[in-house]
Amino acid sequence: MAKQKLEDLDWTNLGFAYRDLPYSYNEEFKDGKWQNGGLTTDSTLTFNEAAEDLHYGQEVFEGMKAYRTKDGRIQLFRPDMNAKRFTNSAKRLVMEPYPEDKFVEAVKEVVKANADFVPPYGSGGSLYIRPFMVGTEPLVGVSPSSTYTFHIYATPVGAYIKGLHPMPYMVSKYDRAAYAGTGQAKTAGNYAGSLLAAKEAKDNGFAGELYLDPRQHKYVDEFGGANFYAIGKDGKFYTPKSHSILPSITKKSILQIAKDLGLDPSETNIDVNDLDEYTEAGAMGTAAVISPVGSLTNNGKKHVFYSETEPGPVTQKLYDTLFGIQSGDVEDKYGWVVPVE
C-alpha cells in the first residue's frame, strides 16, 4: 500500500478508513525487557506462522484521537486513561504491560511525526490513533507468549457517525462477552465475536446491535462499539454497571460532565423491558463520541426515545460539552486535555 499523500485528502469527506501515514511506532519485548523502540516508516509487521496472536488471540489494543483546535494547536484527550486501560487489558490476557509513561510519550511522537495529517479545525475530522500489542512467540501449545510487538499507527478520520442524527438499533440474541470473561479488556476476540451480530443488525436495516447481560439476558450491557446511556423521566443520567462491558473513557468523562450538569448520574441495571422509563438514549465511545439512539427494537417490539430525527436536549448538551473540551472550544476545567508540543 502506498503512503498517503497530503494533497489527496478531502478533509470534509474522510470517512472512517485506514490510510498509511508516513510514521508509525514500533517496539519489541524480548529477553525479558522492552527494547527501546521508536518511530518507523515501515507499516508492515512480520510474524512467524506459529505466532501466539495468530492462533490463540493474545492481542490488546486502544483507540484514541488527536484534535486540532481553532488556533492550530494539537491536543489529546485523556491519554493517561488509555494507558491504564491498555495495562489492564494486557494483564487480563497475561501479556507484558507496556510502561504507561512510555505509552503516552509514544502516542505523542506518532502524532507529532504525522502532524500534517491532523484534520483542520471545523472539518469534523480527527487523527485516530491505534496503539496495539500482539504476542509473537511461535507456540503450538496454549500458553502465554514470551515475546511481544507494541505498535502504534495513526490515520485521519471523519466522524464515525456523521452528525448528531438518531439511529435505529436492535437488541442482539448473541452475547458480546461472558460475565467473567474478557469483556472488560479491549481485545480483538471480543470484536471478532460481534461481527455476526453486527451483520445481522445491518442486514435488517439497523445501525447496529445492543447486547444484554450474558447471565439473565435482561439488563442492557453495551453496543458493539460503544457504551449505552439513557436519560430517565426523572431527568437523571443512567448507564449500565456490568462485569462484561468495556470500561469506556468517554463514559467516565460523561459521568463527570453529567454530574456537573445536575443530572445526578449513576451506573446501575437498566432493564430492557423498562425502556418507557427513559426519554433519551445514546451510544458513547471514542469513535462515536456521542450518538443519539432514535429507536431500539427488541423481539420485534420497537421503542422510540426522544425522536427518530432530532437529538434530545440532554444528549445535545452532553455532546456539545464533551466535544467542545476535546476540540478546545470549551474550557477544560478537569485537566483532561494534553497538548502535543
Residues marked as catalytic: 186
Decide the pairing of beta strands 33-34 and 24-30.
Answer: antiparallel
Phi, psi angles (nearest 5°) of residue 226: -165, 160
Which residue shows C-alpha cell 456537573? 260
- Measured N-to-C along each axis, helices 79-92 and 100-113 cross at an angle, to the nearest 10 degrees, of 120
Enter the DSSP assignment of 61: E
C-alpha cell at 48: 512467524
CA angle 27, 32, 36 (to 5 degrees): 30
Closest among 202, 248, 243 to 226, alpha carbons compared: 248
Q: At 111, phi and psi to the nearest 5?
A: -65, -45
Residues 6+ apart with CB under 8 A from 11: 119, 120, 123, 125, 156
Q: How far apart are CA 246 and CA 254, in angstroms?
A: 15
Give the cell for residue 238: 443512567
Q: How far apart are CA 259 and CA 265, in angstroms?
A: 6
Radius of gyration of the chain (CA): 20
Amino acid at 87: T
Helices (H), 114-161: none
